[in-house]
Amino acid sequence: MSDSEGAATTEPSKTATTTPGEIVPKQDSRRARQMRRLQLPAPPRPSGPPQLDFPPVKNGLDYLASVVKHLDETESEVSPSDVKYAVLHLQAAVEVLFKARLLAEHWTLVFTHPGDATRKALDDATLKSVTPEQAVTRLQNIAGVEISDKEAMALKRLATDRNKLQHFGFTDNARAVEARAGEVLDFLIRFIDTELQPYLEPADRLETELGLKNLREGLGNINAYVQQRMNRIGSELRKQGVESTTIECPACENVTLVLDEDPPVPPAGGGAYATCRFCSSFFELGDLAMRWLPPLWDAQGGFVYTHICPWCDAEALGTDVRVRSESEPVYFCFACSRIIKEIAPCDGCGKSMDVSVWGAVPLCQPCEDAREPDPEPEYELPYEDPADYGFDEGAKPPAYENSWFLKEGDKA
């Protein structure tokens, strides 16, 4: 068992004990066995005093709940003591949840030396378990978990801070330590969403989601967590080129809701979804669009066309939508993902026109094409006045002798 599991990591007034449950081997598919490894049923509770029941994932969430409580700035000012216990409990959560993921991959991976692993040592909790550094390496190389160099460094710094606090005493800037803890807290919430949830049975997944929901209500009050998470999310969205399809999340109100992105565990019904990178809430696209669509009828009972996209003609044009790529709220089509900054009604059909493309013209292009052209006037030959050629209609014709006509007998 690692140092952090054997050491006391609770406040002086409390004692936390981890009691692993019993693993019951099953002879079935590898995938089923992987999912079952995270479901460690506790033995039946005997009558008498309350029994501790903290299987790995539940235990990790309990530690995280303590971290959030200590760093929540709405309850009271975060003191150095709060930061201390947040670091201790966050490191404990890291180790428990990392081992839970390794256990889902294969039970021998939680041993320091997998070749010496025995089921009895695992069931009796007498094993010498994997160190945090070993856990990171095995998660990367064996389980295929993506842990960046920056995240690995943050995990290493947290472990160092924890060891100093636990064993030797520690003097450092409390805000700096809080910020480092915020980096790991950000990573760990995402780790639960993407690396643990898919391996849980439906009942355990529901319990975990409820636990995460309670955690997320407090996470927004932690400045270090919010700043670190928003910085990372912003960088990811820019690199992935999805800022123009990232809108405001109705749940957390951050502009981190990515359209056409499935949640880590998609609902059984299927369909197209949008998922928030900050709070992990997800919404069905059809229901999401209704939140921004304008009323279909005006005060006089007339039909309003402002919800019809001028580009794709879908009834999915939202108004006052906050999009990450834009500085001001815009019109946004939830069908074709087109951003429109200004619209104007067509004088012919009343549908919206994109002013930035067509300008302030009275008719949309279809109405312009369908309009009957004005009749052209009949062509009339212009009247020519003889005076234009030097003739005078009132003048007498010249005498014959003065005429330019040839006389009889004259030579040409």
- Which tens digit of pLDDT belongs to each residue from 108-127? 999 999 999 999 999 888 89
| Stronger pLDDT, 20 or 325, i.e. the higher one | 325
Query: What SS3 state is found at 397?
Result: coil
Residue 302 has pLDDT above 80, yes or no: no
Helices (H), 79-201: 80-105, 119-124, 132-141, 149-163, 174-191
C-alpha–C-alpha distance, residues 316 and 381, integer Å = 57
The HSE-up count of residue 340 (CA atoms within 13 Å, CB side) is 28
Residue 305 has pLDDT above 90, yes or no: no
C-alpha–C-alpha distance, residues 259 and 242, integer Å = 9
Q: Specify which residues 343 forms β-bridges with.
A: 354
93 band by pLDDT with thresholds 50, 70 and 90: very high
Query: DSSP label at 406?
Result: P
Residue located via tokens 């912003």: 234
323 band by pLDDT with thresholds 50, 70 and 90: very high
The HSE-up count of residue 90 (CA atoms within 13 Å, CB side) is 35
Average pLDDT over residues 379-397: 62
Residue 184 has pLDDT above 80, yes or no: yes
Residues in Cβ contact with 140 at an 8 Å cutoff, skipping those fewer than 6 apart: 146, 147
Task: Tell me, rounded to whole angstroms, the distance of Cα 196 from its chain centroid.
Answer: 19
Paired tokens of 94: 């890291």
Query: What SS3 state is found at 318?
Result: strand
Q: How much is the pLDDT for 325?
A: 96
In 346-399 the beta strands, taken as DSSP E runs, fall at: 352-354
CB 179 within 8 A of CB 224: yes
Q: Specify which residues 323 forms β-bridges with.
A: 247
What's the mean pLDDT when you consider all of the chain? 78
Four-residue CA torsion sign, 221, 56, 111, 121: positive
Task: Tell me, rounded to whole angstroms, the distance of Cα 36 from its chain centroid.
Answer: 30
Residues in Cβ contact with 46 at an 8 Å cutoff, skipping those fewer than 6 apart: none
Q: How much is the pLDDT for 95?
A: 95
Average pLDDT over residues 375-388: 64
| pLDDT per residue as tens digits for the range 217-228 | 788 778 777 888
Backbone angles phi, psi at 342, to 5 degrees: -150, 135
332 band by pLDDT with thresholds 50, 70 and 90: very high
| pLDDT per residue as tens digits for the range 21-57 | 444 444 445 544 554 445 444 445 545 555 445 688 8
Strand-strand pairing, 352-354 and 282-284: unpaired
**Domain spans of the chain?**
3-240, 241-291, 293-370
Residue 269 has pLDDT above 50, yes or no: yes
CB 355 within 8 A of CB 343: yes
| Stronger pLDDT, 250 or 174, i.e. the higher one | 250
Residues in Cβ contact with 292 at an 8 Å cutoff, skipping those fewer than 6 apart: 318, 319, 320, 321, 332, 334
Average pLDDT over residues 148-156: 91
202 band by pLDDT with thresholds 50, 70 and 90: confident
| Stronger pLDDT, 231 or 216, i.e. the higher one | 231
C-alpha–C-alpha distance, residues 14 and 409, integer Å = 148
* Assessment of whether the complete model's pTM goes beyond 0.75: no
Q: How much is the pLDDT for 131?
A: 93
Backbone angles phi, psi at 257, to 5 degrees: -95, 110
Order the strands of the 257-258 sheet from edge to edge.
Answer: 246-247, 257-258, 273-276, 282-284
| Stronger pLDDT, 332 or 387, i.e. the higher one | 332
